[in-house]
């Protein structure tokens, strides 16, 4: 009986961490349009802001091709979340990537970028990364 209660308690804790789906949040396509497309474009040509930057942003639709056929999920998520562990962008100035802070509110999900470690992550950030993954050519 104790084992059942422990399992049930663990499942309830996981459910609480996962949160509910926020039906009021913008779609991943809307978030991409608002946060990414201005510089990275929509798959092909760069966005209208790109020409004003010192560093010319890559097409996010080409990430798999640029990485030997493997989508760099951990690197993409680290850029969205703001971690610098994968290195700075060469030539980028501080503040050139938008702040994704408004996307931090809302439900959190357990997300594993491929390293086997599920980390509580805002659901909107995960959906944006999945949207970018789906754009691959």
> The domain containing residue 99 runs over which residues?
21-134
pTM of the predicted model, to two decimals? 0.74
Residue 83 lies inside a defined structural domain of this protein: yes
pLDDT over 90 for what percent of the chain?
42
Could you read off the pLDDT of 20-36 as tens digits, one per residue? 556 688 999 999 999 99
Residue 13 lies inside a defined structural domain of this protein: no
Residue 78 lies inside a defined structural domain of this protein: yes
More confident residue, 43 or 83: 43
Using DSSP, state whether 120 is helix, strand or coil.
strand
Residue 10 tokens, joined: 């663990």
Amino acid 93: pLDDT: 56
Residue 6 lies inside a defined structural domain of this protein: no
* CA separation for the pair 44, 1 (Å, rounded): 59
Average the pLDDT over 93-119 and give the result: 84
Residue 55 lies inside a defined structural domain of this protein: yes
- Does residue 32 contact residue 128 with C-beta atoms inside 8 Å? yes
Average the pLDDT over 42-49 and give the result: 86
More confident residue, 116 or 17: 116
- Does residue 74 contact residue 114 with C-beta atoms inside 8 Å? yes
Could you read off the pLDDT of 52-66 as tens digits, one per residue? 887 788 889 999 999
Could you read off the pLDDT of 113-125 as tens digits, one per residue? 888 999 999 999 9
Residue 4 lies inside a defined structural domain of this protein: no
Residue 25 lies inside a defined structural domain of this protein: yes
Residue 15 lies inside a defined structural domain of this protein: no
Dihedral sign, CA of 105, 18, 26, 115? positive
Task: Please count the structural domains in the chain.
Answer: 1
Using DSSP, state whether 111 is helix, strand or coil.
strand
């Amino acid at each position: 009986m104790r084992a059942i209660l422990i399992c049930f308690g663990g499942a309830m804790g996981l459910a609480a961490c996962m949160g509910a789906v926020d039906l009021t949040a913008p779609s991943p396509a809307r978030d991409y349009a608002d946060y990414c497309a201005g510089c990275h474009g929509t798959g092909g040509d760069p966005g209208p802001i790109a020409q004003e930057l010192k560093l010319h942003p890559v097409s996010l639709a080409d990430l798999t091709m640029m990485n030997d056929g493997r989508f760099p999920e951990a690197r993409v998520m680290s850029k969205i979340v703001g971690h610098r562990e994968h290195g700075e962008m060469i030539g980028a100035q501080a503040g050139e990537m938008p702040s994704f802070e408004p996307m931090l509110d809302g439900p959190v999900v357990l997300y594993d970028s491929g390293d086997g470690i599920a980390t509580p992550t805002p659901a909107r950030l995960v959906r944006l990364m999945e949207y970018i993954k789906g754009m691959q050519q």
